[in-house]
Amino acid sequence: MGGQPSSLTLSGVVHNNGMDINFGQRRIATLRFQVEGQISAWKEFDCVTLQIPIHAEMQAEPTSTWLCQNINLELFGIQSGGGERLICTGPMREILQSRRGHYDLARQVPLRCTSRAIAEYERLRDGNPVGLRLKFTAQVHELQVGTDHRKMLCEPLYVWGQEDVRADQSKWTTALRNAGLSASVLFEVPLPMTGEIEDDALKALTSAFSSFENGGTTAWKDSVGHLRPFLEKWKTASPNTSLEPRDGSAADREWKLLNLRDALHKCCNFWIHEAASECGRDDALLIVSTFAALLKSHRSMR
């Protein structure tokens, strides 16, 4: 995404009261996903930055008695089985301090990770809803009454909490694509797939790509189903010969590519029509990525 961030909207936010900061027997502050905010993302050379919208709510105190610092945030992807996978982490460069009146802070906290971390979460998500978990750790110090000085014998109180949230699935995949993070597929489609597409092959590839990214119980077979008709049409229009040239010529290269096309078509038929077969994510990934590479290689011969 270079310098242009892509945004995705949160939905179905779940507050589990885990983001409260307690001091003694009272709640002094609360950290939350900022529901009305958006997670923004952009890709740099070797890392990805996610801007996480945080809302900090500080309770009123009669005197200035505490400060909260060294706040660190971690964003996890929630797996379908209940496990979690770390995506990114980063500090909230803000010191929270009690005041006489209630006050709020809204911040965009940058968390950094690698493209591979997002790709791994997408692999584990396997088309299921986008569940995210935000965790924080921090230190709370008691202050001398009426001052900003820490009490000399005060040990810091280490606090932590977490909160779960769901992101809109279609906006999540769109944001990844706009960011140059087609991590759900884990390969770069080496063909133009933007704007008005009139090419039948690219239409089929775009439809297959969209089905794969959207995920769900039928996504993998749907993605294969978008490619099978084009392969069948291509096979009928340009049948391969039975005799392999084996001389390293352009005709030899063409024969091998068409042979791969025919094998790919057989695989599609198997996963679409065989009742005993179950088309999974890896199967669909094999078909879509092979089709994209085959199409590019075949057209490079023109």
* Arch. (CATH architecture) of 6-176: Sandwich (2.60)
- At position 276, the amino acid (one-letter code) is A
pLDDT band at 279 (very low <50, low <70, confident <90, very high): confident
Question: Pairing state of beta strands 66-78 and 130-142?
Answer: antiparallel
Residue 153 scores a pLDDT above 70: no
For the stretch 60-118, pLDDT in tens is 887 768 888 899 999 999 887 778 989 999 999 888 888 888 888 888 898 988 888 88
End-to-end CA distance of the chain: 32
Domain boundaries, the chain: 6-176, 185-299
For the stretch 30-59, pLDDT in tens is 888 876 667 777 777 778 888 888 888 888
How far is 98 from 278, CA to CA, in rounded Å?
Answer: 58
- Note if the pTM is more than 0.75: no
**Residue 183 · residue 1 · CB < 8 Å:** no
How far is 79 from 18, CA to CA, in rounded Å?
Answer: 19
Structure confidence at residue 11 (pLDDT):
47
Supply φ then ψ for residue 161, to 5 degrees. Answer: -170, 175
Structure confidence at residue 259 (pLDDT):
95
**Residue 67 · residue 140 · CB < 8 Å:** yes
For the stretch 117-152, pLDDT in tens is 888 888 788 778 888 898 999 988 887 666 666 665
**% of the chain beyond a pLDDT of 70:** 80
> Half-sphere exposure of 131 toward its Cβ, with a 13 Å CA cutoff?
17
pLDDT band at 253 (very low <50, low <70, confident <90, very high): very high
